[in-house]
Amino acid sequence: MIAPTVDMETGAPERVRRRPKRGGRTLFREAVVPVSLEKAFKFFSDAFNLDLLTPPWLGFTIVTPPPIEMNRGAVIDYRIRLHGLPIHWRTLISEWEAPHRFVDEQIRGPYRWWRHTHRFEACAQGTRVIDEVEYAAPLAWLSERLLVRRDLERIFDYRGEALQRHLTGAACANDSETAD
């Protein structure tokens, strides 16, 4: 069991919320990148690379000061702007199994519940990066259809394209270094 984090303002313990019995949804995305499993996982092991994978329209900023040691129990604070509203988001790395998977779960943020499983599988073309996001939106009966699903699909579509740009570029740079 991971010890709860403490809210810096109130001193009260914070915990990851439990999955709701109703209203939960799942978003699934995968991409294949032309780098080794170790290089793909290392890219995700640097929390500050999340900025490279997040659409600029979210105004994403990591608030936690560096260095952030990514492992089980790490807590990371972010700020985003969603539809013009500033949102503080805190996640806990609840599982860490390098170089195959890790899980981040929302402690505080815009969702009633959020669990994002990142998986990495070696394949003939390099590494398959798999995102499975389980979430429950506030007022899901209304917000899910109008905003939330569409927003998440746009964000994760951008993420897949950005991942290709950054890791394909890394593969090309590594190829040119060894081409002599």
* Residue 175 confidence (pLDDT): 45
The whole-angstrom separation of Cα 31 and Cα 38 is: 16
By C-alpha distance, which of 62, 66, 67, 77 is closest to 7? 77
Indicate the burial class of 11 (C-beta count within 10 angstroms; 0-12, 13-18, 19 or more): exposed
By C-alpha distance, which of 45, 52, 53, 51 is closest to 97? 45
By C-alpha distance, which of 111, 112, 129 is closest to 120? 129
* Residue 138 confidence (pLDDT): 76
Q: Is residue 13 part of a domain?
A: no
Q: Is residue 180 part of a domain?
A: no
- Cis peptide bond upstream of 20, omega within 30: no
Q: Is residue 11 part of a domain?
A: no
Q: Is residue 7 part of a domain?
A: no
Which residues of the chain are under the pLDDT cut of 70?
1-15, 17, 22, 139-146, 170-180
Kindly report, residue by residue over 44-89, the tens digit of the pLDDT.
999 999 999 999 999 999 999 999 999 999 999 999 998 889 999 9
Q: Is residue 177 part of a domain?
A: no
Supply 108's token pair.
Answer: 């505080």
* Residue 179 confidence (pLDDT): 36
* Residue 90 confidence (pLDDT): 97
The number of distinct structural domains making up the chain is 1
Across the chain, where does the E strand assignment appear? 5-6, 13-14, 25-33, 61-62, 75-82, 85-97, 101-108, 113-123, 126-136
* Residue 15 confidence (pLDDT): 67
Inter-residue contact 48 to 67 (CB < 8 Å): no
Q: Print the domain residue range for 106.
A: 24-172
Backbone angles phi, psi at 121, to 5 degrees: -130, 130
The residues pairing with 82 across neighbouring beta strands, listed in sequence order, are: 85
The whole-angstrom separation of Cα 43 and Cα 21 is: 34
The whole-angstrom separation of Cα 16 and Cα 156 is: 23
pTM attached to this predicted model: 0.84
Q: Is residue 16 part of a domain?
A: no
Q: Is residue 19 part of a domain?
A: no
Q: Is residue 9 part of a domain?
A: no
The whole-angstrom separation of Cα 68 and Cα 64 is: 7
* Residue 12 confidence (pLDDT): 46
Q: What CATH code is carried by the domain that includes residue 149?
A: 3.30.530.20
